[in-house]
Amino acid sequence: MPQELEIKLTLTQESLARALSWLAGEGVARDEGSLRLRNRYFDTPNGDLNANRVALRIRSVDGRYIQTLKTKGAFVNGAHDRQEWEWPVPGAHLDLSLLQQTPLDKSIDVSELAPVFDTDFERHVIMLNDDQTAIECAFDHGVIRAGDRERPLCELELELKSGDDAKLLDWATQLSRQVPVFLNLISKAEQGYYLAGLHDPRWTGASASLEALFQGLSLVWLTGTCPEGLMETLAAFESRAAELDLRAEWLWLSEQIKPGAVDCHDLLQDARLGRFQLALLRAGAGQ
């Protein structure tokens, strides 16, 4: 069964350009250049795929079409661990027969699948390879569209191709010392569903786990508001933050996300957010 292990970071447009320049200058980096990716995501009118934490798309790149099915998977040590199936297809229309090769819920009527939203972005790829571990760094900049609504797309995905998965966190931490980053658990598909009005983002609730904290922060970024209970979850990390010499960052974050409207642009411009997240991950806090 195909697996995908990656860390996804959201950045501002300026920070994304700086991150690309810095990574490209590293001794183990190889610049793979850029390509344009257009993706159309499909679901039923009731959003059954999204309800089952599944994303189905057709990607157009260089005149080729690829049909992909992904599960949301698990959050493990800062990375997304997901199931993924890919098939080349002749055009921009779904081949429903291919879905029979996957554990897609049999209660879903695939004949009802229709386009829901699109993503259109440029991807610049840098490969990091130290002869032991290979990591693909995909810098994505563009837009997500659902009908006449759209939101910007500006993120970096670090995907393990081979070797030691701990290197994903190592590289993300090094990058956070160069530019502001945000470790984001919201996928492109979830952003699109939210934009299309088919995704009502719900938080798992207050608990003293990193996954709960990062899920809550990701919802702040997506919706611009603080979910109920997130302040209690953040409070559970106060003593751990003090042990790690992160109390100043903890106090700053507590002020930024308190209930009410949150200026997410300001959050993404501040290096303290990503450094706080990644330092907790490296220390194994709440695990």
Task: Render pLDDT for 107-117 as a digit per residue (tens, 0 to 9).
Answer: 789 999 999 99
Question: What is the pLDDT, as a whole number, of residue 129?
Answer: 95
Tell me the per-residue pLDDT of 148-167, one tens digit each, with 9 for 90 and over. Answer: 999 999 999 999 999 998 99
Q: Taking the chain, what is the end-to-end CA distance rounded to the nearest angstrom?
A: 27
Residue 2 has pLDDT above 70, yes or no: no
- Residue-wise pLDDT for 228-259, tens only, equals 899 999 999 999 999 999 999 999 999 999 88
Q: Is the pLDDT of residue 287 over 50?
A: no
More confident residue, 170 or 79: 170
What's the rounded Cα separation, in Å, for the pair 55 and 50?
A: 7
- With 0-12 / 13-18 / 19 or more C-beta atoms within 10 angstroms meaning exposed / middle / buried, residue 172 is buried
The answer to whether residue 175 scores a pLDDT higher than 50 is: yes
Question: 233-272: b or e for each residue (b if 16 or more CB lie within 10 Å)?
Answer: bbebbeebbeebebeebbeebeebbeeeebebeebbebeb
13 exposure class (CB count in 10 Å sphere: 0-12, 13-18, 19+) = exposed
**What pLDDT shows up at residue 3?**
61
Do residues 70 and 55 make contact, with C-beta atoms less than 8 angstroms apart?
A: yes
Q: What is the pLDDT of residue 261?
A: 83
SS3 169: helix
The CA radius of gyration of the chain, in Å to the nearest whole number, is 19
Confidence of residue 77 (pLDDT cuts 50, 70, 90): low
Res 103 pLDDT > 90: no
Q: Indicate the pLDDT class of residue 1, thresholds 50, 70 and 90.
A: very low
- Other Cβ atoms less than 10 A from the Cβ of 57: the count is 22
pLDDT mean over 257-263: 87
- Determine the pLDDT at residue 75: 58
pTM of the predicted structure, to 2 decimals: 0.89
Whether the predicted pLDDT of 93 surpasses 90: yes
Domains of the chain, first to last: 3-193 (2.40.320.10), 202-283 (no CATH)
pLDDT for 171 equals: 96
Average pLDDT of the residues of the chain: 91
How many angstroms from the chain centroid is the CA of residue 36?
19
> How confident is the model at residue 78, as a pLDDT?
55
**In the predicted model, is pLDDT for residue 74 greater than 80?**
no
Report the pLDDT value the prediction gives residue 82, as an integer from 0 to 100: 66
